[in-house]
């Protein structure tokens, strides 16, 4: 019997990793393997999910919709070696059109072993309320259109009228399976209601994004002063779509913090695992974000 695959897509900062983490730690009794893919060599999502399951594999240096498709197929064979899991969750990069992954999973060689059960798109509800350009973004549209299910995120505190408008926009796109309207997490079985017993038909042409985004990977071995770090992020963030990683602060020598930035929302939270130094990834539009200028700002914060 084929192992079902749950493909999770969504724009940068939509909340995919949080959503997957909730699935991994849920009380469903299933053995789940996760394949995660970050845009860049520092795979933050892989590290964040390691504590939730013993079988997390990261794909690095690109997006599995394109250059790493061969690596994805090899990784699936690795996951299936030995005792196969009950479910495989694949997290697509926020810069990826999932159509390329869907096409890759249609390889006839894979059909006896795995079957794409559902595609879930995590949608940041406040983002599409506050950012009118988002719903016209070709990449965002491709991610939503590919989905069987839309999972809304960050709905806590939203005005009912705004949430209703978000729902109407998604309905207008033909999306009727919308979860998370009341901020509740749907049971895993509900996400697999759309499970298919046969491979999907050939899909559309994937949206190409390789030339659209620029990325910066920044590391340092020591700690950074909090005020200097906050100043650096304040300088960089207006031109960044997404940033995440691990930070050691001089004022908090007890361990690393997890740094998350989506749009203009930034958070720092304690990291459960032991670590030292800083490892950060920043992603922005190429016509707005200058990685080397941002690197200079961060380097200066260490001095």
DSSP reduced 3-state for 215: strand
In this prediction, residues 45-71 reach a mean pLDDT of 52
- Is residue 35's pLDDT more than 90? no
Partners of 266 in beta bridges: 261
In this prediction, residues 251-259 reach a mean pLDDT of 90
**Cα-trace Rg, the chain:** 19
In this prediction, residues 99-128 reach a mean pLDDT of 87
Write down the domain spans for the chain: 3-191, 213-301
Q: What does the alpha-carbon distance between residue 82 and residue 240 come to, in Å, rounded to a whole number?
A: 42
Q: What does the alpha-carbon distance between residue 284 and residue 240 come to, in Å, rounded to a whole number?
A: 5
Lowest mean pLDDT among 55-69, 115-129, 193-207: 55-69
- Is residue 112's pLDDT more than 90? no
Query: pLDDT higher for 200 or 9?
Result: 9
In this prediction, residues 132-148 reach a mean pLDDT of 93
Query: pLDDT higher for 232 or 272?
Result: 232
Q: What does the alpha-carbon distance between residue 59 and residue 295 come to, in Å, rounded to a whole number?
A: 24
Distances (CA, A) of 298 to 34, 137, 201, 260: 32, 30, 47, 16
Q: What does the alpha-carbon distance between residue 261 and residue 245 come to, in Å, rounded to a whole number?
A: 9
> Minimal CA–CA distance to 65: which of 188, 286, 243, 213?
213
Q: What is the model's pLDDT at position 282? A: 94
Residues 6+ positions from 81 with CB-CB distance below 8 Å: none
Q: What is the model's pLDDT at position 111? A: 76
Average pLDDT, the chain: 83
Distances (CA, A) of 176 to 83, 136, 265: 36, 19, 29
Q: What is the model's pLDDT at position 7? A: 93
Lowest mean pLDDT among 156-170, 182-196, 286-300: 182-196
Q: What does the alpha-carbon distance between residue 121 and residue 204 come to, in Å, rounded to a whole number?
A: 17
Q: What does the alpha-carbon distance between residue 143 and residue 283 come to, in Å, rounded to a whole number?
A: 18
Query: pLDDT higher for 208 or 295?
Result: 295
Is 213-301 a domain of CATH 3.30.1220.10?
yes
For the chain, percent of residues with pLDDT exceeding 90: 43
Find out whether 93 and 64 touch, Cβ atoms under 8 Å.
yes
Q: What does the alpha-carbon distance between residue 120 and residue 36 come to, in Å, rounded to a whole number?
A: 14
In this prediction, residues 107-117 reach a mean pLDDT of 83
Lowest mean pLDDT among 47-51, 98-102, 270-274, 280-284: 47-51
In this prediction, residues 202-228 reach a mean pLDDT of 86
CATH: 1.10.3720.10, 2.40.160.20, 3.40.1440.60, 3.40.50.300. Which one for 3-191?
Answer: 3.40.50.300
Partners of 120 in beta bridges: 8, 149
Find out whether 233 and 261 touch, Cβ atoms under 8 Å.
yes
Find out whether 159 and 129 touch, Cβ atoms under 8 Å.
no
Residues 6+ positions from 50 with CB-CB distance below 8 Å: 56, 273
Q: What is the model's pLDDT at position 62? A: 44
Find out whether 260 and 266 touch, Cβ atoms under 8 Å.
yes
| Predicted confidence band of residue 73 (pLDDT cuts 50, 70, 90) | confident
DSSP reduced 3-state for 19: helix
How many helices and strands, by DSSP H and E, does the chain display? 10, 12
Lowest mean pLDDT among 3-7, 19-23, 147-151: 19-23
Q: What is the model's pLDDT at position 200? A: 64
């Amino acid at each position: 019997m084929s192992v079902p695959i749950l493909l999770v897509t969504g724009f940068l900062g939509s909340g995919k990793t949080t959503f997957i983490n909730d699935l991994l730690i849920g009380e469903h009794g299933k053995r789940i393997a996760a394949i995660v893919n970050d845009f860049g060599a520092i795979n933050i999502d892989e590290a964040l999910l390691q504590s939730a399951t013993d079988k997390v594999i990261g794909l690095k240096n690109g997006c599995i919709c394109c250059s790493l498709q061969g690596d994805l197929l090899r990784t699936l064979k690795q996951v299936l070696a030995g005792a196969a899991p009950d479910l495989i969750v694949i997290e697509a990069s926020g810069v990826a059109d999932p159509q390329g992954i869907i096409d890759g999973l249609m390889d006839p060689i894979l059909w006896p072993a795995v079957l794409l059960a559902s595609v879930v798109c995590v949608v940041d509800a406040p983002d599409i309320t506050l950012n009118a350009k988002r719903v016209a973004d070709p990449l965002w549209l491709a991610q939503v259109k590919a989905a069987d299910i839309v999972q809304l995120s960050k709905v806590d505190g939203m005005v009912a009228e705004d949430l209703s408008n978000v729902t109407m926009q998604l309905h207008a796109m033909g999306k009727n399976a919308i979860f998370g309207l009341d901020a509740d997490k749907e049971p895993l079985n509900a996400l697999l209601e759309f499970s298919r017993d046969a491979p999907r038909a050939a899909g559309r042409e994937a949206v190409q994004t390789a030339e659209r985004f620029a990325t910066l990977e920044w590391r340092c071995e020591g700690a950074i002063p909090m005020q200097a770090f906050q100043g650096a992020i304040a300088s960089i963030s207006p031109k960044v779509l997404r940033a995440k990683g691990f930070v050691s602060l001089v004022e908090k020598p007890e361990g690393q913090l997890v740094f998350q930035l989506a749009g203009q929302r930034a958070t720092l939270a304690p990291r459960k695992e032991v670590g030292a130094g800083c490892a950060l990834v920043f992603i922005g539009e190429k016509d707005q974000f200058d990685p080397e200028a941002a690197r200079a700002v961060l380097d200066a914060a260490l001095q």
